[in-house]
Structure 1
């Protein structure tokens, strides 16, 4: 079988699988049905790691037959695991996919060795984040001894308006995108002390761009300082940030200027690797709205 035949066969198989899962969703957009099915995965949290079949179907608001079919489809591909008595939890396929993305994500690959060097240079725990939808997602961390508790860690998301890692990304978004963000979130912008109107907001972000970094205190964890600097792709568009964090009580012993310089250098190194193709491919910025 040729490569083209294999691809066509795979496409037919996927089409058949989708027909099996969405077979009686007559008149519905398959993409909408798929999104509905995948939304089941968002239910599972640390506070609620197991969900019953009935509760999942109640959440979906679909017919029981459709709900059962969605659950069965996710279970069949390993995204859900049955744990007895009609309960489910997240499945082992997610662990496998996490390994694959670590092996394939250009930004993750471009950061190899950089976070470790940053921890060695500053003595503080280091983080790597990426722009994701209307939020910031941590994709990698390297912890220093006695690092702050509840550190931002891989897989966690935070809003664009709080924390050094978020604010530095926000400041480099295109002007038209910033206008849209401000129009939808003026109260959040004000709460984050980024400005009480559009002109203040624009001026605050302009200062961040001029400085090339953000430093914050206690915006998520009380008494924790954070410093973040921007990371760009080969088209010089913002895709993420790198930074460090330390306890407020350590401040008298911290060379803040040296720490900021180390973070900015780390950001430049990852950006240079992205621009040179070390990450493996061009990585576009994730959509923000």
Structure 2
């Protein structure tokens, strides 16, 4: 957290500490994690509790509060991207038999926000509500391929700081090839024996998310990757048009 960050920014940053692996924090732990003073951290936590974003448990532990559930329900009902995408995701699942995922970009994060099941029973790690890792899997690769080089380089250095220039050049060359094709095919990028096909969703020349198809490796052997890529690109353009009209 930069020294120039606002008090509001520092307070909201506390929520970034909460993950599936670490879902309960004390004030002292949060202060140490972010380098804030204990008094400031206590004030931030108190305000987050008053807003319902955190709740206090015994032994001074704080977890995500019920207000988040209320906001999540509101997103399901009102988010224009999710609402506009629902018929498109259903059509893709029916036409291809694949699982279909919609992922949205926020800041430097990519989050799955909608899932339309396919015909296969797959154990997928990243479903609705889970942030996706960068540089692995069809969703993140289809975003990175359309981002500016400097932005991607910064993320690459954060994820692979000691990988070296050769690794970066190879990664960037791969992303440029994805951009040229307009879609990506990823084999076991996120889950073993699973293939992902992804395209970016654009709004006014900005990547706001991705649409991905997911199927087993066995099913993928009988599918035409180029044909699926063409279908995905067409559906992405359709979603972009719907969003333009929604505005």
CA distance in 2, matches of 1:209, 1:251: 22
> Counterparts in 2 of 1:32-43, with a 5 A limit?
32-43=6-17
For residue 152 of structure 2, what is the aligned residue in structure 1? 181
Shift in CA distance, 81/170, structure 1 to aligned 2, threshold 3 Å: same
Higher relative contact order at CA 8 Å, sep ≥6: structure 1 or structure 2? Answer: 1
Shift in CA distance, 45/202, structure 1 to aligned 2, threshold 3 Å: closer
Give me the CA root mean square deviation: 2.9
Greater C-alpha radius of gyration: 1
Shift of the alpha carbon at 1:178?
0.9
Q: Secondary structure at the match of 1:51?
A: coil
Which is worse superposed, 124-133 or 73-82? 124-133
Which is worse superposed, 62-71 or 161-170? 62-71
Does the 8 Å contact 1:138/1:157 carry over to 2? yes
CA distance in 1, matches of 2:136, 2:87: 27
For residue 23 of structure 1, what is the aligned residue in structure 2? none
Q: Secondary structure at the match of 2:86?
A: coil
For residue 217 of structure 2, what is the aligned residue in structure 1? 248
Shift in CA distance, 202/38, structure 1 to aligned 2, threshold 3 Å: closer
Shift of the alpha carbon at 1:196?
4.5
> Counterparts in 2 of 1:183-262, with a 5 A limit?
185=156, 188=160, 196=167, 198=169, 203-233=173-203, 235-262=204-231
TM-score, normalization by structure 2: 0.83
| Structure 2 portions without partners, runs of 5+ | none
Q: Which runs of 4+ in 1 moved over 6 A?
A: none
Shift of the alpha carbon at 1:103?
3.3
The alignment covers a number of residue pairs equal to 242
